[in-house]
Structure formats: structure tokens, C-alpha cells
Copies of this chain bind each other. A is one copy, B any other.
Amino acid sequence: MERLFYPKVVAVIGASPQEGKVGNTIMKNLRNFSGTVYAVNPKYREILGFPCYPSVLKIPENVDLAIIVVPAKLVPKAVEECGRKDVEGAVVISAGFKEAGIEGAKLERELVEVAERYGVKLVGPNCLGMINTEIAMNATFSRVAPEKGRIAFLSQSGAFILAVLEWSKRNGVGFSKVVSLGNKAMLDESDFLEYLAKDDSTDVILIYMEGVEDGRKFMRVAKSVARRKPVVVMKAGKSQSGAKAASSHTGSLAGSYEAYRAAFRQSGVIEASSVEELFDFALLLLKYRKAGNLAILTNSGGPGVMAADACDQFGVPLANFNFETIRKLKEFLPAESNFYNPVDILGDASAERFSRSLQILSEDENVDIVLTILTPTAQMDFLKAAESVVGKNAVCCFMGGESVDESERILRSSGIPNFFDPVRAVRAISVLGRYSKISAKERVKEDLDVSVEREKAEEIIEKLLESGGRVVGAEGLPVLEAYGIEVAPYGIARNVDEARDIAESIGYPVVLKVVSPDVVHKSDVGGVKLNVGENDLEKAFFEILSNVEGRMPKARIEGVLVQKMVDGGKELIVGMKRDPQFGPMIMFGMGGVYVEVLKDVSFRIAPITRREAHEMVREVKAYRILRGLRGEKPADIDAIADLLLRVSKLSLDHPEVLEMDLNPVKVFESGYAVVDFRMVLGEEV
């Protein structure tokens, strides 16, 4: 990829001398490029002073990168010529491919075939281009070029890049690399992410994402990158209305947002919920990596209180000062000051009082970052204040308009973020806590292994599929058993004698449930009898049969499940569904009301580690119930984690299992038992 980002020679195929044309704007933008630029256009010999050739093949030296802006139907040929010329990469700006319908999609496939055949790396098509500020390469049609900086920005929306570049210019934010991903026919966010991880001029990676095609590739790459460099994503298409709009826009199939959230979380990607947050987070992460305890220093009580409130809201810890710190502050601050966190040095504070206080707070080893909040009082000299902030671990709220401008430039030039709103400042700071958890995660050999009988499960699933099963209930329990998952003792009886034999071997009382591929809500048709004793067995057995036959005369009854009656314990639900982008997604929650009413569940993409399985359990709000309320003994969390690992493994090993519901699972002080089960079999989507 190095030649793609650091080309020595660039050719613009479809360059134009005509004002307003994309092929013209790009030529203009490349005027500052530190390398050599050639135009390609059969109609001209020279464009904007650059030599022009009828074909890339005619260029008298090696070409590293081609920017292609010719009409869509001419693009495959242009790329083929690039291939023959051994051009490393082609940025296809031209539109008219997948996003334009069936014909375009065909053309795009053709384009990819050509590129693959010749080993040309393809960016786009249907994109804005790419930028590398280090070599002054602006190979886009943006009217604005960004400043140099240490943020890399990948975006699935070209127009959004236009907006961001203008905004960043205004706000003094710089970039190392900018890539417009376009249709991602060949190179996608994961490929660039992998490259940027090793790019010395990039410290923070931002992504605007509508969807990824290969979710598992993204997770694999992101997981290794995020530990070293922060990756912040703004995901669009989260809601149903948003997802609809996204897919009509890029033709990319948006996976469910829950899957994205789980994937981001598992791979250490930080999600921003708005454009402002995306860049606020970036500015913080450019300057600081370590999270920690915040000291608030203010000349105005009100905004100090706002910040303290926000610390509570966003989980930013407030530092507890050393006695020594407080003693030093008391030496020179007015008696009415507040010496504790937030430190209020009062409205009549001078810049000198401010800088002495800041110095003292910075020296306290319990303080990691000082949030300095200053309002524009007559006594405050913002310039002096800014100078004293430089070199400190600080984030600023210099709250004002004109009087702050000059000092803001000073802060900006040393990378210290400045906000007007204390709440926004604290929200931005909160990203440091999130990132430090990600970077601190040791790369342990992760414990995924559980011993299972994979072939046995395979055979059972095949048989179930052969017998036409799609929605499978109790008949599928052996699959769980093959994976070492504990199932409440059971048997399937085809007649009352078998039922009695089973009941006797597992012990009374038992539960009877009809086994039928046609009956989904077994209780609703009288297909379930709880707490059946020895004397009631026969009656219960026949009642079930007659109930189901009476209410669903066409249902195929395959037998009656005789299951040990499981008393006590707490109800859990464990489930799996396959996400088109990310594959099997495991769900955990407490059963009944917690899932149905409170939606109190956690998700992870398989495979999960034992640590992640424990996280899933701790993450639900009802976790405290599992831990045991009022002196109650805790439930067996280790056993639940083990169950989740086995479900994860089963999902990965057997793509024919499309969905699973272990519901309920009863968990006890020791162990658990699956009480009811349902899975959907079929071809993997």
C-alpha cells in the first residue's frame, strides 16, 4: 500500500483543462504535490502546465498511482492500461457503478476482475479521492485542502469529507491521510485500517461508516489496530429509518446495529454518536492517552458545577487532592475560595492566581488532567492564562467570544483542546477512560477452548435436516448435549409406556410437553403439563394428546417430551442469531420479564472468550440478581460463562444452525439446566 499513499508519480486519467470539471479540479489540487503529475487525455498535449498523454501507457516513466475520472464505461479499459503499465493503485472517482443499479453493478464486477487480473489496487469507485498531507497530495476534487495533522479519516461518504475539510480548516484541525472509500469494490476500511496502524504520521483513526461487508475481517483488523492507535467510528444507519436511507444510498446491506455495537465493543473501536463527538474525541485522543482523575479549576462557580455534574454523568472520576495540595492552595487563595474539587478561585482571580493554582494542581500525583474553566471577567487575562496552560496536562473551557480568540490559537498550537461548554468538554474527556481500557487490555492467549463432540452434533443436525426439520425443538437437544451443554434430564416418549419408563429413570415429578414441528406455542394449545407425579402421568399424557389434537387437528405429533421438573433457580435466556455481516451473534439475558419488557440483554459476536462471556453476564442490569440479593447465594456465573462459550462454539462449527433459543435456562448455586430449546436450521444466509 505504500506506493498508493506515497506515490512519486501520479497520472490523472480524464484530466481536463475545462474549468469546473472534476478532471480539472483534481489537476489544480495536485499543483502542490511534491511528486510528478501527468495528465492523460487524448485531446490535449498539456493541461495546466502538466504534460498530457493520450494513454497512461504512453507516459515515459513509471507511474505509481492513477486517478481515474473518465465516464464509468471507460474505466475498466483505463484500469487495464494501468495494469499493463504496472501502476500500483487506481483511485476511481467516476460514478455510475453499483450505486447506479444493475448495469452499474455489472460494470463494477468487470472493473474488479480487470484490477485483480493485473494486480491493481482499487480505491472506489464512486469516491472523492484520497489525500496525503505529508507529500502535499490532494488527489480529490475538494475545493479545500486540509492542514497537516495526525488524524487519518476514512469515510464512506465523499460529501461528508467535503464538509469535514471545510470545518477542519476553520477549526485548526489537521489530517495525515483522508480516504474516500466509495463503493469499496476492492479496498475497504479494513485494508486501510491495517495500513494506517503502521503509518507513523497517524495517531488517531476516524471512520465514517454506513456498513461493512465483511464484518469478521473488520473485527480481526480493528482488534489488532485499536490497541495501538485509537479508532473512533461514527456509524450511520443505526435506526430502521437510517438503515433504509443508508442502503438506498450505497447499496451496502446494513447489518443490525446491535451486531455493530457488539463488534465495535469487542474489537476496541470507540463509537461516537455525532459528528461533534467524533472530532471532540479525536482532539482529546491526539493529545492524551492516559485516562485518569480530573481536577476542575475555575474562576466561576456555576460552570464548575456544570462540569462536576457532567463528570458524574459521563463517568469521569474527580481527583481527591493530597492534603499538601490543599495546604498550598490555602496559602494564597482568598478564604472564600473552594479548595476542593472543583477548585473555585473566584471571579476576581487574575491570570497569576490561576496559573499558580494550576501549577499546584498539576503537581498533585492524584491529578491526571486539569479542566480549566475561565469566564471572561475583567480581571482575567486569557492570553497569560493560556500561556500558563501550555505544557500542562490540561483541557480548557475558556468561555467567551472575541476575548478568547487569541488565547485559543495558543492552546490550539500546542494541541490543548478548548471548549465553550463545560459539559461538552467533560463528555470529550470521557473518551480517555474508554480508550485506556482498550489499550490496557493485555493480549492474553484467549481461552476459547471447550471440548465438544463436533462430529456427533454434525450427524444429528444432518439427520434433522434430512427429515425436513427447519424449526426444531426437543428433538434438537442432543445437539446441545454433544456440545457438553447441560440439559434437564429428559426423554422423548412415543407412547405412555415409554413415558413411564423415562419418568421412572429420571425421577418424578416430571414435565410433559408435546413434540411437534407444527406447534410453536405449546402452552397455548394445552400441550404442556407441569409437575406431573407418578399417579397423574397417564392422565396428563393423554390430556396433552387430546388437547393438541382437539385444537390443532393437523399438527404432526412426534411424541411427548418427558422432562425432569426443575424447581427453583433463576431463569436465563441464551440465544444466537446470525448477522449477515458479522456472523453468529450470541445473546444473554435474564428470562421472562427482563427480556420481554426491559430488553435487558447483552450481545457478542462469536467466538467469545471466557472473559467476554463473563462480561456479557455482568453487563445486564439484572446481574445484581444473579449475584444474589439480600444475603442470597450467588448463581453459578462460571457455569453460565461456560454455557455461553459452548453456544458460541456450536454456532461457529455448524453454519446450518441459523438461530437458537435456549429459553429458559435455569441456573442454580451450582450448575444450570436448559429447560426449553428451539433452533432454526437451514442454508447459511
Contact = CB atoms under 8 A, between A and B. Distances in A.
A152 to B, nearest CB: 18
A340 B401 CA distance: 41
B245 A344 contact: yes
A424 B155 CA distance: 20
Interface string A236-261: 11111110111011100000000000
A42 B158 CA distance: 70
A299 B629 CA distance: 55
A73 B58 CA distance: 91
Contact of A312 (B240, B375, B378, B597): B240
A377 B625 contact: no
A309 B249 CA distance: 14
Highest count of chain B CB atoms <10 Å: which of A305, A340, A624: A305
Interface residues of A, number: 88
Contacts of A158: 347
Given A399-B163, A402-B170, A624-B597, A311 B100 contact: no
Nearest to A318: B241
Contacts of A144: 376, 401
Contacts of A155: 302
A31 interface: no
Given A239-B308, A245-B344, A249-B302, A375 B160 contact: yes
A38 B557 CA distance: 99
Contacts of A621: 597-598
Contacts of A622: 593, 597-598
Interface in A167-216: 167-171, 208, 210
A530 interface: no
Highest count of chain B CB atoms <10 Å: which of A275, A313, A403, A596: A275
A143 interface: yes
Nearest to A306: B236
Interface stretch (A45-53, A415-423, A447-455, A641-649): A415-423
A240 to B, nearest CB: 7
B302 A160 contact: yes
Contacts of A245: 301, 304-305, 308, 338, 342, 344
A596 to B, nearest CB: 7
A275 B375 contact: no
B376 A166 contact: yes
B313 A239 contact: yes
A157 interface: yes
A99 interface: yes
A424 B593 CA distance: 34
A555 interface: no
A1 interface: no
Nearest to A99: B336
A45 to B, nearest CB: 26
A320 B127 CA distance: 31
Contact of A424 (B157, B276, B597): B276
Nearest to A160: B302
A263 B100 CA distance: 54
Contacts of A403: 143, 166
Contact of A309 (B239, B310, B338): B239
A246 to B, nearest CB: 5
A400 B166 contact: yes
A190 to B, nearest CB: 19
B248 A166 contact: no
A275 B166 contact: no
A240 B159 CA distance: 44
A276 B25 CA distance: 37
Interface in A408-439: 420-424
A283 to B, nearest CB: 15
Nearest to A303: B160
A273 B239 contact: no
A94 interface: no
Nearest to A375: B159
A141 interface: yes
A371 to B, nearest CB: 13
Given A309-B242, A597-B624, A378 B20 contact: yes
A651 to B, nearest CB: 28
Contacts of A167: 399-401, 420
B377 A162 contact: yes
A624 B239 CA distance: 23
Contacts of A99: 336
Contacts of A596: 624, 629
A275 B400 CA distance: 12
A32 interface: no
Given A342-B245, A401-B170, A302 B210 contact: yes
A94 to B, nearest CB: 13
Contacts of A404: 166
Given A245-B308, A273-B423, A301-B246, A376 B156 contact: no
A208 B246 CA distance: 40
Interface in A378-422: 378, 399-404, 420-422
A653 B576 CA distance: 56
Highest count of chain B CB atoms <10 Å: which of A159, A208, A347: A159
A60 to B, nearest CB: 32
A345 to B, nearest CB: 11
A158 B399 CA distance: 13
Contacts of A597: 621-622, 624-625, 629
Highest count of chain B CB atoms <10 Å: which of A208, A306, A424: A306
A378 B420 contact: no
A249 B301 contact: yes
Interface of A: 20, 25, 99-101, 141, 143-144, 155-160, 162-163, 166-171, 208, 210, 234, 236-242, 244-246, 248-250, 273-276, 299-306, 308-313, 318, 336, 338, 340-342, 344, 347, 375-378, 399-404, 420-424, 593, 596-598, 621-622, 624-625, 629
8 contacts: A100-B336, A155-B302, A166-B401, A167-B420, A208-B302, A237-B305, A238-B312, A241-B308
The 5 closest A-B pairs by CB, nearest first: A157-B302, A239-B312, A159-B300, A249-B301, A163-B399
Given A249-B302, A597-B625, 12 more contacts: A160-B399, A162-B376, A163-B303, A244-B340, A245-B342, A275-B306, A275-B424, A276-B424, A593-B629, A597-B629, A598-B598, A598-B621
